[in-house]
Amino acid sequence: MAEILANIGHIQKAASPETLTKINRTTKDLSFSEVLKSRLEREAGVKFSSHAMERLRERGIILNKDETDRLNGAISLAGEKGVSDSLILINSMAFIVSIKNQTVVTAITGDNMKDNVFTNIDSTVIA
């Protein structure tokens, strides 16, 4: 205990407010959807457009690890075949994906797929 008390004199004073570096926040606060999009892209490897993120949220679509891996695999497979835009089907979900940009453009669930016409695609991948 005496050693600890003896060393107290050697502890430096805390920095005064004048010597601290002020950090100015120049970027805006991120919205929940921006944080979610960033997290999904980091984990999935594939990007999601703002429209796709809104559809995921509206339709309650949550991709698990297996589905994310299947989506990435389907994008890779389509890319190997020279595909530009694809409809990728996983379970009861459908994704329109720009293969060259590796970006999900929109997402649809089973109930919303009925009576839909998918245009501007040049392939379908069932993953």
Quick: pLDDT tens for 86-125: 999 999 999 999 999 999 999 999 878 888 899 999 999 9
Question: Do the domain assignments include residue 23?
Answer: no
Question: Do the domain assignments include residue 73?
Answer: yes
**Whole-number Å distance between alpha carbons of 90 and 126:** 6
Question: Do the domain assignments include residue 66?
Answer: yes
Q: How many domains does the chain have?
A: 1
pLDDT in tens, 34-73: 777 666 666 657 899 999 999 999 999 999 989 999 999 9
CA atoms within 13 A on the CB side of 23: 2
- Report the largest interatomic distance among the alpha carbons of the chain, rounded to a whole angstrom: 82
Question: Do the domain assignments include residue 103?
Answer: yes
Question: Do the domain assignments include residue 93?
Answer: yes
Full residue range of the structural domain in which residue 41 is found: 31-126
| Residue pair 77/89 in contact by the 8 Å Cβ criterion | no
Question: Do the domain assignments include residue 45?
Answer: yes
Question: Do the domain assignments include residue 2?
Answer: no
